[in-house]
């Protein structure tokens, strides 16, 4: 079984913000796999289904970004899912808009959501799909940037990125992280 969790912030005020690209990717993935993400438990909205021959849980933690680990840990403990089968989808300001970077493990890289997940799981050994949201302008506060929305001209780029992140997650489940890394990390 796999948990695929997209990070973001709950409530409408954060819809379509840079920090919520994980939620957007989960919505695309849910449509692709025919999974309804409507159950509420483990401080998340989630749904169970299949990706190929694997059981998957699609999750959108409702703890706010900086406390995402609480939800991930609760769900992992309940369903007995090991960290290597927990795929996290999140934003990355170090990648250009729409670029994906897949890793099997690693540091938080300054991302507070990942930092909290590492803290709660007690390991960095879980795969992640980072979705580029572009570099913050020098004169802008980081929080204002990641909680801001994409300009109209980037919306199509990001829609393609959410589709690619969903495809990458399915490939990771069905064929392994190495295959997904080889395919998606070369693009752009």
DSSP character for 45?
E
Class for the domain spanning 2-184: alpha beta
For residue 22, is pLDDT > 60?
yes
Query: Is 19 among the catalytic positions?
Result: yes
For residue 161, is pLDDT > 70?
yes
**For the chain, what are the domain ranges?**
2-184
Q: What is the pLDDT of residues 121-151, one digit of tens each?
A: 999 999 999 999 999 999 999 999 999 999 9
Instruction: Collect all residues with Cβ–Cβ distance below 8 Å to 175 and sequence separation of at least 6.
Output: none
Strands (E), 24-165: 39-41, 44-51, 54-61, 86-92, 100-103, 128-132
Q: Which of 19, 42, 111, 120 is catalytic?
A: 19
Known binding positions: 14, 64, 66, 112
pLDDT score recorded for residue 147: 94
Known binding positions for tRNA: 14, 64, 66, 112
């Amino acid at each position: 079984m796999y948990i695929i969790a997209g990070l973001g912030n709950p409530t409408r005020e954060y819809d379509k913000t840079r920090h919520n690209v994980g939620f957007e990717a989960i919505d695309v993935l849910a449509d692709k796999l025919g999974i309804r993400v409507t159950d509420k438990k483990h401080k998340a909205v989630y749904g169970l289904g299949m990706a190929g021959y694997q059981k998957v849980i699609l999750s959108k933690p409702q703890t706010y970004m900086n406390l995402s680990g609480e939800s991930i840990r609760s769900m992992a403990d309940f369903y007995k899912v090991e960290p290597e089968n927990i795929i996290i989808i999140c934003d990355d300001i170090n990648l250009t808009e729409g670029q994906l970077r897949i890793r099997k493990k690693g540091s938080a890289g300054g991302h507070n959501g990942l930092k909290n997940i590492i803290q709660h799981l007690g390991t960095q050994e879980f795969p992640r799909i980072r979705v580029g949201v572009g570099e913050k302008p020098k004169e802008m506060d980081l929080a204002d940037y990641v909680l801001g929305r994409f300009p109209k001209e980037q919306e199509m780029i990001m829609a393609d990125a959410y589709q690619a992140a969903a495809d990458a997650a399915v490939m990771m489940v069905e064929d392994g992280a190495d295959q997904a890394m080889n395919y998606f990390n070369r693009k752009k």
